[in-house]
A and B are shown apart, each in its own frame.
Chain A
Amino acid sequence: MSNVSRTLRAMPTLLRVGFASSLAYRSEFFVWILATNMPLVMLALWSQVAREAPIGNYGPKQFTAYFLVTLIVRQLTGSWVVWEMNAEIRQGTLSQRLLRPLHPILSYAADNLAALPIRAIIVIPVAVLLLFLTGRGGVANDPVLWLLAPLGVAGAWLMSFSVMFLVGTLGLFWESSLAIWDLWFACYAIFSGYLMPLGLMPVWLQAFLHMSPFPYLLSLPVEICLGAVSRGVAARSLSIQWAYALAFLACALLLWRRGLVRFAAYGG
């Protein structure tokens, strides 16, 4: 049997296993979800400030829409591979994954994707709240943008998953891979639009940022959903996003091959 069809056959089972384990550790999962409360705090903060007078193009209503969509996109695109890999490499339990006739990146991906139904429990009420608070005018009304939005969310997921896998792979070379992740996340928090809409940043910085990978992780899908970009810009940005995602994925896979020879399981 060819590699691809074997993988495809294994995928439904892997997803079921992942879903079952996210149910089993639901308290941990709930903590993860609570830990992404930042957009709500930022929402309270910015909309309070904007109540006196709008900041840039953003009034309280625009901030509400922005941060609620941010919360949704963040829930849908988040992964936790880097911590999982770090623990498995240090404890040697990675060897169990290596025994399977599948590339470990696929089993990690299945684990993370399988958690999406539970995340939806959070996402759906937020989405309803969003529509209720901002009305139809708060989000994009161009159907083409709504067709592009899933593509943007999927691209953001793949990109952040690949970066996490890449950093996790560094754990094979070096025991402080989590410190690198912290550094990455610090940049992400500021430059991806997590703490504030990128449109509020100084103009010179914005031009620079759009060459960096960060806006494509969060800001791009959010702005597509909000209708803050035109079709042309959205399509062009999406191609950059997917190029970044595939490039990170390729780097991660290459590094994984080189790093794996260094792996030595103790016990496991």
Chain B
Amino acid sequence: MTRYLMLLGIQLRASALLALQYRLDFVLDAVMSLFWTGSALVPLMVLYAQRATVAGWAWPEALLVVAWFTLLKGVLDGAVQPALSNVVEHIRKGTLDFLLIKPVDAQFMVSTSRFELHRSSEVFGGLALLGWALHRLGRWPSASGVAMAALLLLGAVVILYSLWILVVSLAFFVVKVDNLSYLFSSIYDAARWPASVFRGVLSFVFTFVIPLALMTTYPALALLGRLSLPRALGALASAALFAIIARRVWLFALGHYTSAGG
């Protein structure tokens, strides 16, 4: 265990050193993330200019969902997405061998192979939005609500990560899919809306297949004190289930890896 923690530290340091080489990117990414935070708000603002509530969500409540969306987007861009593009590239070129021959768990190596922490500036944008939303609401969430939301954040990261492992596993079978990360973020984009806005098929998909609802809407509900304990536990359980499935699929997919000559 300490070995893995040490390894994580080394990988983080390597990524940080790599990031420092591209200082211009750093500034650009910060500007971009501000821009993304703002742009995520535009459709919502247009909608709420017409309506006081949408599907039972008032403006500050919907803002909470956007805040959570932005926060998780920071995690996605900084910790999940870079490694994804990295691994897909490795699989395509056959250089994944170099990761596989190391005497540690391959999934761990792959998941920590690349961090771009400077791209995580959206986390701050999310926190700012969160503050604004709570200010507009005019009341602070209860301690239990905050604790629940924090646990759900953990669950959301686990789900994001598991979905990502599933996507990477796909790359073992269909080789030229370096654009998978675009698909991933285009689907994630729908999470900025409160889940109850969607009805019918999409509502089913976003709750059970790609559980966007669990990632952004549930934590917001928890902060509002509207999430019952069983539902919160259910969300955490499904996060765990996702992680187990992802691990299984990963092991299965890895068995199908054929090096491309390296």
A positions within 8 Å CB-CB of B: 25, 27-28, 31-32, 34-38, 41-42, 44-45, 48-49, 52, 55-56, 80, 83, 175-176, 179, 182-183, 186, 189-190, 195-196, 200-202
Q: How far apart are the CA atoms of A202 and B199 in the complex, in Å?
A: 28
Q: How far apart are the CA atoms of A52 and B22 in the complex, in Å?
A: 50
Are A179 and B25 in contact (CB-based, < 8 A)? Answer: yes
Residues of B within 8 A of A37 (CB): 186-187
Are A176 and B186 in contact (CB-based, < 8 A)? Answer: no
- Closest A residue, CB atoms, query B203: A44
Are A195 and B179 in contact (CB-based, < 8 A)? Answer: no
Are B177 and A31 in contact (CB-based, < 8 A)? Answer: yes
Are B35 and A44 in contact (CB-based, < 8 A)? Answer: no
Question: Whole-angstrom distance from the CB of B70 to the nearest CB of chain A?
Answer: 14
Are B179 and A31 in contact (CB-based, < 8 A)? Answer: yes
Q: From the candidates A25, A182, A196, name the one contacting B176 in the complex (CB within 8 A).
A: A25
Q: A35-B183, A49-B197, A189-B39 are in contact. Are A41 and B46 (CB under 8 A)?
A: no
Are B28 and A45 in contact (CB-based, < 8 A)? Answer: no
Q: From the candidates A27, A38, A175, A195, name the one contacting B42 in the complex (CB within 8 A).
A: A195
Report the stretch among B47-55, B133-141, B239-247 that lies at the interface.
Answer: B47-55
Are A35 and B198 in contact (CB-based, < 8 A)? Answer: no
Q: How far apart are the CA atoms of A201 and B49 in the complex, in Å?
A: 10
Are B176 and A48 in contact (CB-based, < 8 A)? Answer: no
Q: How far apart are the CA atoms of A176 and B28 in the complex, in Å?
A: 9
Are B32 and A183 in contact (CB-based, < 8 A)? Answer: yes
Residues of B within 8 A of A56 (CB): 50
Residues of A within 8 A of B179 (CB): 28, 31-32, 35, 80, 83
Are B28 and A179 in contact (CB-based, < 8 A)? Answer: yes
Question: Whole-angstrom distance from the CB of B88 to the nearest CB of chain A?
Answer: 11
Are A176 and B46 in contact (CB-based, < 8 A)? Answer: no
Q: How far apart are the CA atoms of A55 and B202 in the complex, in Å?
A: 22
Between A and B, 26 residue pairs with Cβ closer than 8 Å are A25-B176, A27-B174, A27-B175, A27-B177, A28-B174, A28-B177, A32-B179, A34-B183, A37-B187, A38-B189, A45-B193, A48-B197, A48-B199, A49-B51, A49-B54, A49-B197, A52-B51, A55-B47, A175-B22, A176-B22, A179-B29, A179-B32, A183-B32, A183-B35, A196-B46, A200-B46
- Closest A residue, CB atoms, query B199: A48
Q: A48-B199, A200-B46, A201-B46 are in contact. Are A41 and B176 (CB under 8 A)?
A: no
Majority secondary structure of chain B interface residues (helix, strand, loop or mixed) = helix
Q: How far apart are the CA atoms of A25 and B179 in the complex, in Å?
A: 12
Within 173-197 of B, Cβ neighbours of A (below 8 Å) are at: 174-180, 182-183, 186-187, 189-190, 193, 197
Question: Whole-angstrom distance from the CB of A168 to the nearest CB of chain B?
Answer: 16
Answer yes or no: B261 CB below 8 A from chain A CBs.
Answer: no
Are B39 and A190 in contact (CB-based, < 8 A)? Answer: yes
- Closest A residue, CB atoms, query B200: A44
Q: A41-B202, A44-B199, A176-B22 are in contact. Are A28 and B176 (CB under 8 A)?
A: yes
Are A55 and B42 in contact (CB-based, < 8 A)? Answer: no
Residues of A within 8 A of B202 (CB): 41, 44
Question: Whole-angstrom distance from the CB of A214 to the nearest CB of chain B?
Answer: 13
Q: How far apart are the CA atoms of A32 and B183 in the complex, in Å?
A: 7
With A31-B179, A48-B55, A202-B49 known, 16 other A-B pairs at CB within 8 A are A25-B176, A31-B177, A31-B182, A35-B182, A36-B186, A41-B202, A45-B198, A48-B198, A49-B55, A52-B51, A55-B47, A175-B22, A179-B28, A186-B32, A189-B39, A201-B46
Q: How far apart are the CA atoms of A239 and B51 in the complex, in Å?
A: 37
Q: From the candidates A36, A42, A176, A195, name the one contacting B24 in the complex (CB within 8 A).
A: A176
- Closest A residue, CB atoms, query B28: A179
Per-residue CB proximity of B45-76 to A under 8 Å, as 1/0? 01101110011000000000000000000000
- Closest A residue, CB atoms, query B50: A55
Answer yes or no: B103 CB below 8 A from chain A CBs.
Answer: no
Q: How far apart are the CA atoms of A202 and B48 in the complex, in Å?
A: 12
Q: How far apart are the CA atoms of A254 and B176 in the complex, in Å?
A: 33
Residues of A within 8 A of B42 (CB): 190, 195
Q: How far apart are the CA atoms of A236 and B32 in the complex, in Å?
A: 34
Q: How far apart are the CA atoms of A202 and B45 in the complex, in Å?
A: 10
Q: How far apart are the CA atoms of A196 and B39 in the complex, in Å?
A: 13
Are A41 and B28 in contact (CB-based, < 8 A)? Answer: no
Are A49 and B189 in contact (CB-based, < 8 A)? Answer: no
- Closest B residue, CB atoms, query A201: B46
